[in-house]
Structure formats: C-alpha cells, structure tokens
Amino acid sequence: MEDGELAKSLLVTQQPGNIRISNGFGSNDIGSSASASGVTPVLLLSAFVTACSAFAGGFVAGYSAPAESGIIADLGLSVAEYSVFGSILTIGGMVGAVISGKLADIIGRKYTMWTLDIFYIMGWLAIYFAKVSKMCQTVLYRKRRKGAWLLDLGRLSLGFGYGLSCYVAPTYLSEITPKNLRGGITSVSMAMIPVSVSVAYLIGSVINWRALALIGAIPCLLLLFGLFFIPESPRWLAKIGREKEFEASLQHLRGKNVNISEEAADIKDYTENIQNIPEDKILDLFQQKYAHLLIVGIGLMALQQFGGSNGYAYYMDEIFELAGVPSITGFIVVSIPQIPAIALGSIMIEKFGRRTLLMVSVTGECLGCFLTGLSFVLQNLNWWMEATPTLMLSGIVVFEVSYSLGIGPIPWIIISEIFPINIKGSAGSICNAVNWFCTWLVSFTFNFLVEWSPAGTFFIYGSMSCLGVLFIAKLVPETKGRTLEEIQASLTHILQ
C-alpha cells in the first residue's frame, strides 16, 4: 500500500492529552492514563540490568587513561603502540554502532544485550592475559608484539560491545518503561556512563592495569546474570507478531494485578498500523518526511561530542598536569559532584522536560569550558597563579556536572523516543554511528588543538555548546509525559 493510500485509511487527530488513530474499523486513544504506571520489582530489575550495560561501557572509556603508564612499563610498548590501543576502541565502536539498530530489530533487544556482554567479557579477558607466559617472553620484541596484539584485540572487542550498548540500552528502557517514569529511569541508567568513567579513574590510580581490567568485568558479569531474569521488550515482540509473549512481557513489567488491556491495545493497534508501511532502508531515511527527526537525532549526537566531553574524559591526566593539579586530587574533586547531579537530573527531567534540562546542561558546559580556558589564559600570562588550579578544577567540575545533568543521557533518551518502529533500527544506527565518528574526531584532534592553544581548545568547545543552545531551542521537540506512540505519531507525517 502506498503512503498516500494509507493516509486515507488512517486518520490521526490530536486531542488534548492524547492522539486518536482511526483505521477505518474503529479507533483508539494513544497516550491515555493507562500507560502511566508505577514502579514494579521487574521494572527496577530491568533498569538495573540495563544500567550495568551503561556502567560497563563507561568503564571501557575510562580505562585507558589510568592504565597507560602500567601497560607501557609492563609490556614494553612504545607510545605509538599504546596510542593504537587507546584509539582502536573507536573503530570497534563505529562497527558496533553501524549494525546496532538492525541487530536489535532482528534478534531483539535482550539478545543484543547478550551479544554485547559476550564481547565485553572477551575484551577484558584479552586485556588481562596480554601479559603473556614466560615461554613467549624469551625475546623482548616478541613480548611487545604479542602483548600489543592481545591488547588491541581486547580493546576492539570492548569497543564493539560499547557501540551496541549505546543504542540498545536506551531503546530497551524506553520501550519497557511507562511514560511517567521513562525519562527519569532512562536518565539514571545512561548517566552511569560518566559515573563509571570517573570510577575507572579513581580505582585505576591505586591498582594496576590488570586488576583494573578484572574490575571492569564485574558489571559485565552482573549484566550476564541479570539478563536471565528480565523480559524482552513488549514493543519489539508486538512488532514481530508474538502476541502472547508481548502480553506476558507487558504484564510482567506492569505487575500481575494491573489491567494492561488498554495499554496493550494501544501498542498493538499502532504497531499494526505502522507496519502497513514498508520498512524503510537506511537510504530511504534521507527523505523530507524524516528530515526533522534525522536533523534532531544527528544534531544531538554531534552536540554531545563537540561540547568536548571526550576531550575531558580521555585526556583528564594531561589537563590536570597542565594545570598543576595532582591527578588523584583532581579525579576525586571532579567525581563526587556527579552523583547528586545525576539524582537531580532524574527528578527534573519529568518535571521540567527534556528541552529545558538540555538547555541548562549545555549552558553549564559552555560555562565550564570558559572557566577552563580562562585558567589557561591566566597561566600563560602568569597572572593570579595561586588561583589557577582552583579555577581549572572549578571549570572541570562545572562541565562534568552539567554533562551528567542532561547532555550526557538525554540525547540517547530522545533518540530512543522519536523514531517510529518501522525506521527505528536504521535511524538509530545512523545516529549511533555519527556519535562514534564525532567521538573519534574529538579524541583525534584534541592533542593537536592543545598543542596549538590549550585555552583556544576549550573556547572552541564552549562555542559549540553555545550554538547547541540555539539548536535545542529551535528544533528539539519536547517528549515528556507522552507515550512512544503519541510522540512518534505527532512528529511524523506517515500516519497523517
């Protein structure tokens, strides 16, 4: 059936508080109060398991900085070889990102999390065993090459798992969580990424790199165990026509005594209607009807990275060294405020909305970059030298708190909410791949920019955040308090 013919049989009208879909045989209200439910043990367990996936990914990102000196010393690697180890994560991440959406559509959200966890565990084991046996250590050159090969393989495996996780974790949570809890729960889960980066820094400053790799495997084991006890996404089950399993999964998530008939009917009717439209391939997404959604998704992914988050994350040691701040002191001061910021963000996201919190967060990033850049300016001019370290730490703390508050988790939440189910896999893969490409671009250019001008580097990042405020204000839709079906029907013209 062509889009124009389908539009005649599907009439969508917006009413206060809901969207009404008519298919010629009857109609259904989407966004009714039935989809606003309470917290259940199964929902909390599912959120915890998904948070383990995000925490594991953040630990992967934070591992290379504290492990650098130990790995180079123990395995005799050159700086160039270690640079390959650090950057190969991004290659694995981009590969995982490209296939993440389609893989989650084909095998399901839960089995995709199984897959990424296997790559996580294999990656940590490869890194741990990179210190080869004595039989392979008779020649130093051989030791170096063998150690580098195992390290690179492990890092590549971790990157692939992390690339899958960035898409499937928020998508799974958005599809299982009631509309009144979706923002808060998904925000806390995705905010585990910056938290675990800080945890990796702190633990890595007091233990060796192999022990740190084993600690990195702990959330992976929790994820592996927890996946046995959580249900598959009911919306994915509805999409592939497994009706009985869909209802059982939804009932399990909402509680055995909760009447799910209305919510189940809304999801099934919307899914059936949207599937009358052929599933679009990646190249089909570059059409006018999807333009706004893709601009929002790709723009948020670029903004998240071009604000400088990975410049701070990957090179925190170098920033502290340039500022004359002891690393362990800097890590502690930066890490502690992130916890209340995450808690505050999870509360505020459903009260004030995604857009407001994003604008506050990006404004805070801009301020943090300005303070960091200003501290380098003062340092270069030899002005106010006794206060420069404090100013530097203040800038980093403001940046990291602002990142945890909004721009860290919220773009992933919005990406998981705005795309209709017939394009979610392809669109999610594009946005995820853009995020990883921007991650690589920032990490690749950071050293060159700092060599040019440390202050100028952070002023550039701050300028990008300032532009981000305008982008959010003009283009990003508000999605709080609405079901996924209501959001998607209101943002696309497929059903109109």
Q: pLDDT at position 234, please? A: 95
> H or E element: which one contains 20?
strand 18-22
Q: What does the angle CA 117 – CA 118 – CA 121 come to, to the nearest 5 degrees?
A: 85
**Biggest CA pair distance of the chain:** 78
Q: Which residues contact 440 (CB under 8 A, 6 or more apart)?
A: 87, 90, 91, 94
**CA nearest neighbour of 280 among 494, 485, 75:** 494
**CA nearest neighbour of 56 among 149, 148, 168:** 168
Decide: 148 and 84 in contact? Cβ < 8 Å: yes
Q: pLDDT at position 279, please? A: 57
Distance in angstroms (rounded) separating the CA atoms of residues 252 and 488: 25
Decide: 19 and 10 in contact? Cβ < 8 Å: no
pLDDT tens figures, 187-236: 888 888 888 988 888 898 889 999 999 999 999 999 999 999 999 999 99
Decide: 192 and 55 in contact? Cβ < 8 Å: yes
pLDDT tens figures, 396-433: 889 989 998 889 999 999 999 998 887 888 899 999 99
119 band by pLDDT with thresholds 50, 70 and 90:
very high
Composition of the chain by helix, strand, coil, percent to 5: 80, 5, 20
Q: pLDDT at position 36, please? A: 55
CB-facing half-sphere around the CA of 240: CA atoms within 13 A: 14
Sign of the alpha-carbon torsion through 275, 277, 278, 279: negative
Q: pLDDT at position 28, please? A: 41
Decide: 412 and 57 in contact? Cβ < 8 Å: no
Q: pLDDT at position 133, please? A: 40
The pair of structure tokens assigned to 154 is: 């492990």
Distance in angstroms (rounded) separating the CA atoms of residues 277 and 1: 7
- Look up tokens 């079901």; give the residue: 483
Residue 30 bridge partners (DSSP):
19
Residue 165, pLDDT > 50, answer yes
387: which DSSP letter?
G
Question: How many other C-beta atoms are found inside a 10 Å radius of the C-beta of residue 149?
Answer: 13
496: which DSSP letter?
-
140 band by pLDDT with thresholds 50, 70 and 90:
very low
Average pLDDT over residues 334-345: 85
> H or E element: which one contains 15?
strand 11-15
Provide the mean pLDDT of the chain. Answer: 83
Q: Would you say the pTM of this structure is higher than 0.85?
A: no
Decide: 395 and 368 in contact? Cβ < 8 Å: yes
Residue 420: phi and psi, rounded to 5, are: -60, 155
Q: pLDDT at position 37, please? A: 65
Q: How many residues does the chain have?
A: 496
Decide: 41 and 35 in contact? Cβ < 8 Å: no
233: which DSSP letter?
P
Distance in angstroms (rounded) separating the CA atoms of residues 213 and 63: 8
Residue 275, pLDDT > 80, answer no
